[in-house]
Chain A
Amino acid sequence: MPKLGQIAEKIRSKNAGPFWLTVDIFCGTEAAYEKVVKGLTTHAVAETFGVNSQEIKRFDIADLNIVKLSLPRPHIQGSIFDPDMHGASWAALLAELPLNN
């Protein structure tokens, strides 16, 4: 199974304020976008980040070939167990997620 990072052009994660993390998957082409929309389940994303599916806001934006996912941060920004103040490294974890065909 291909990994998300092999299909998408770029994956970016950032803080959306101290309590939310937002992940932008730039697919690059319509073909890649279709593969990502079909192959990436919100459930798999929830498992990857250790949150409930219901807490994830998902936007499949066909006009831009982008899938955007926003979720409560795995740790509140700057709390003592937060490993990443700016939240940018989480993209790498999602990039390694296998996509369903």
Chain B
Amino acid sequence: MTTRVLIPSGALGLNYDPVALERGLAMKPDIIAIDGGSTDSGPAYLGRGVSKYSRASTKIEWQGLMEARAKAGVPLVIGTSGTCGTDSAVEWMLDITREIAANLGQSIKIAVLRCSQNPQDIGEFYANGLITPLPAAPDISRQSIEACNNIVALAGTEQIQAAIETGADIIIAGRTTDTAIIAALPIMQGESAGAAWHGAKIGECGALCATNPQSGVVIIEFDGDSFTVIPLADGAHASPHTVSAHMLYENSDPFILYEPGGYLDVTNAKYTAIDETRVRVTGSNWVPSDRYTVKLEGARGAGFQCVLITLLRDAHYVKNASTWANDIIEKCRDKVGARLGLDPNDYEIELRLMGKNASFGALETHTSKPHEIGVLAIVTAQSNEVAMEIGQFLNPYLLHQPLTRAEEQPTFAFPFSPAEISRGQTYEFCLNHVLELSDPMSAFSIQEVNIA
């Protein structure tokens, strides 16, 4: 049995090569699978339940894939819709799909896989011992779980397979593992689970496993115990090196990959070049686990932020920037205590010296002398009003604070008026845990939507 999965790119919103996509369609894929998200852009998208990519870009690219699906007559699946895969992001993707279907006059059946979790339920599961931490997990409590704005569980192949089994033309999934949307159909069709998960990991970023990585489009052809990587754009070539090196990408362990229901072990995998473009992989091993667990992601509000930017160009101030910055923070904190009566632990003021050590802070080892420094002031407080108020306390210091009283009052360069910029609520990731399920579907739901 052979199963071909066409992967247009590493994420919807990153664009794909339309010529390569046509080549992929000509190879008669069994499914088209694309990822719609990641945690890589930070906690705000999950905290707010919104997409990182623009709606217009998403719509144009999704329309191209909906047309490709109609031509190929095979299912189209998107995982982690709208960057974060919450129910709100799934709804956003469903709306876009409805608009496109109406424009194209397509009659389609959609399966919607929802992955959002009720924080109260997750709090109760925690109290019942069903939630366990992964390495480097933050400390959690029932209270901190229940304070999450959004929690999602990452679906695996079982949930995607249930959606495929509805006979849907299009599957709009909430949060899934990047690999599950690719591995689901091959496993369903009897390809070995080791090859399915390994091929899925290699293909999940599109052509990133080949040369010309931005071209996007690849086909992974699953064939029993092996799979073949076939990049489709001009100038895109896979080699044993590019393919095996992709196991390292954004992966803390290059040989073991944990997924719902088990783990993939590629320690004994063999990568063989078929020609200049295609690579065949054998020897991938899937090890099922005794317990069925799904990973949880959660984000919650971590205060409100106000930021200000000022520029130091005077050599005297550039040279003594750290002293200047520490003095401002101290004076400003005194003022916050005196005038707002806030506890020192209830807010943060940080001045990041860009051009000096803003990337690494205390870990910076370089000591070259910059000629100018950008000062990024970051205030974090428990409400937007207080953050902005503290920003207004900071403003005159960032504009005029002299290094010593003996100096003439300096004036630094503000690029903006007003200088205080509200960032609104900031968010933090607060779960790196797995939830044990007795039935893989018990944390997920599938809804069928027909568009006539």
Interface status of A78 (Cβ within 8 A of chain B): yes
Q: Among B196-204, B211-219, B361-369, which stretch is in contact with chain A? A: B361-369
Interface status of B251 (Cβ within 8 A of chain A): yes
In the assembled complex, the Cα of A84 lies from the Cα of B42 at a distance in Å of 10
Q: Contact between A68 and B248 (Cβ–Cβ < 8 Å)?
A: yes
Interface status of A74 (Cβ within 8 A of chain B): yes
Q: Contact between B366 and A17 (Cβ–Cβ < 8 Å)?
A: no
Q: Contact between A66 and B39 (Cβ–Cβ < 8 Å)?
A: no
Q: Given contacts A57-B252, A85-B41, is CB(A78)–CB(B360) below 8 Å?
A: no
Q: Contact between A77 and B426 (Cβ–Cβ < 8 Å)?
A: no
Q: Which residues of A contact B428 (CB under 8 A)?
A: 76, 78-80
In the assembled complex, the Cα of A16 lies from the Cα of B135 at a distance in Å of 12
**Which residue in chain A gives the minimum CB-CB distance to B354?**
A83
Q: Contact between A19 and B41 (Cβ–Cβ < 8 Å)?
A: no
Q: Which of A19, A66, A93 meets B429, CB within 8 Å?
A: A19
Q: Contact between A83 and B40 (Cβ–Cβ < 8 Å)?
A: no
Q: Given contacts A76-B428, A77-B39, A85-B41, is CB(A22)–CB(B248) below 8 Å?
A: yes
**A101 → chain B closest CB, angstroms:** 20
In the assembled complex, the Cα of A26 lies from the Cα of B134 at a distance in Å of 28
Q: Which of B43, B250, B255, B364 meets A78, CB within 8 Å?
A: B43
**Which residue in chain B gives the minimum CB-CB distance to A15?**
B40
**B264 → chain A closest CB, angstroms:** 15
Q: Contact between B42 and A20 (Cβ–Cβ < 8 Å)?
A: no
Q: Contact between B350 and A16 (Cβ–Cβ < 8 Å)?
A: no
Which interface residue of A77, A86, A90, A96 has the most chain B CB atoms within 10 A? Answer: A77
Interface status of B302 (Cβ within 8 A of chain A): yes
Q: Which of B136, B305, B380 meets A72, CB within 8 Å?
A: B136
Q: Contact between A77 and B43 (Cβ–Cβ < 8 Å)?
A: yes
Interface status of A29 (Cβ within 8 A of chain B): no
In the assembled complex, the Cα of A72 lies from the Cα of B133 at a distance in Å of 14
Interface status of A39 (Cβ within 8 A of chain B): no
Q: Given contacts A19-B137, A92-B359, is CB(A80)–CB(B41) below 8 Å?
A: no
**Which residue in chain B gives the minimum CB-CB distance to A90?**
B360
Interface status of A70 (Cβ within 8 A of chain B): yes
Interface status of A64 (Cβ within 8 A of chain B): yes
In the assembled complex, the Cα of A24 lies from the Cα of B135 at a distance in Å of 20
Interface status of B254 (Cβ within 8 A of chain A): yes
Q: Contact between B244 and A83 (Cβ–Cβ < 8 Å)?
A: no
**Tally of B interface residues using CB under 8 Å:** 45
Q: Contact between A78 and B429 (Cβ–Cβ < 8 Å)?
A: yes
Q: Contact between B252 and A70 (Cβ–Cβ < 8 Å)?
A: yes
Q: Which residues of A contact B137 (CB under 8 A)?
A: 19
Q: Which of B245, B253, B297 meets A64, CB within 8 Å?
A: B245
Q: Given contacts A18-B432, A76-B138, is CB(A81)–CB(B350) below 8 Å?
A: yes
Interface status of A48 (Cβ within 8 A of chain B): yes
Q: Given contacts A83-B360, A92-B359, is CB(A17)–CB(B302) below 8 Å?
A: no
Q: Contact between B40 and A93 (Cβ–Cβ < 8 Å)?
A: no
Interface status of B352 (Cβ within 8 A of chain A): yes
Q: Which residues of B contact A61 (CB under 8 A)?
A: 254
Q: Contact between A49 and B363 (Cβ–Cβ < 8 Å)?
A: yes
Q: Contact between B426 and A85 (Cβ–Cβ < 8 Å)?
A: no
Q: Given contacts A17-B39, A19-B138, A68-B254, is CB(A48)–CB(B363) below 8 Å?
A: yes
Which interface residue of B42, B361, B365, B380 has the most chain A CB atoms within 10 A? Answer: B42
In the assembled complex, the Cα of A88 lies from the Cα of B315 at a distance in Å of 31
Q: Contact between A18 and B363 (Cβ–Cβ < 8 Å)?
A: no
In the assembled complex, the Cα of A101 lies from the Cα of B427 at a distance in Å of 45
Q: Which residues of B contact A93 (CB under 8 A)?
A: 359-360, 363-365
**Which residue in chain B gives the minimum CB-CB distance to A61?**
B254
Interface status of A14 (Cβ within 8 A of chain B): yes
Q: Which residues of A contact B305 (CB under 8 A)?
A: 80
Using a CB-CB cutoff of 8 Å, which residues 38-62 of chain A contact chain B? 48-50, 55, 57, 59, 61
Q: Which residues of A contact B302 (CB under 8 A)?
A: 79-80
Interface status of B358 (Cβ within 8 A of chain A): yes
B335-379 vs A: 1/0 string, CB under 8 Å?
Answer: 000000000000010101000001111111110000000000010
In the assembled complex, the Cα of A76 lies from the Cα of B39 at a distance in Å of 12
In the assembled complex, the Cα of A61 lies from the Cα of B241 at a distance in Å of 12
Sample 5 A-B pairs with CB under 8 A, ordered by A number: A18-B43, A57-B252, A78-B426, A85-B41, A92-B359
Q: Which residues does B use to contact A, with CB under 8 Å? A: 39-44, 134-138, 241, 244-245, 248-255, 297, 302-303, 305, 348, 350, 352, 358-366, 378, 380, 426-429, 432
| Shortest beta-carbon contacts, A-B, top 5 | A70-B252, A78-B42, A16-B252, A72-B136, A18-B429
Extra contacts besides A48-B363, A55-B136, A78-B426 (15): CB < 8 Å: A19-B137, A19-B429, A22-B248, A24-B248, A59-B255, A64-B241, A70-B252, A78-B428, A78-B429, A79-B302, A83-B361, A85-B41, A86-B41, A90-B360, A93-B364
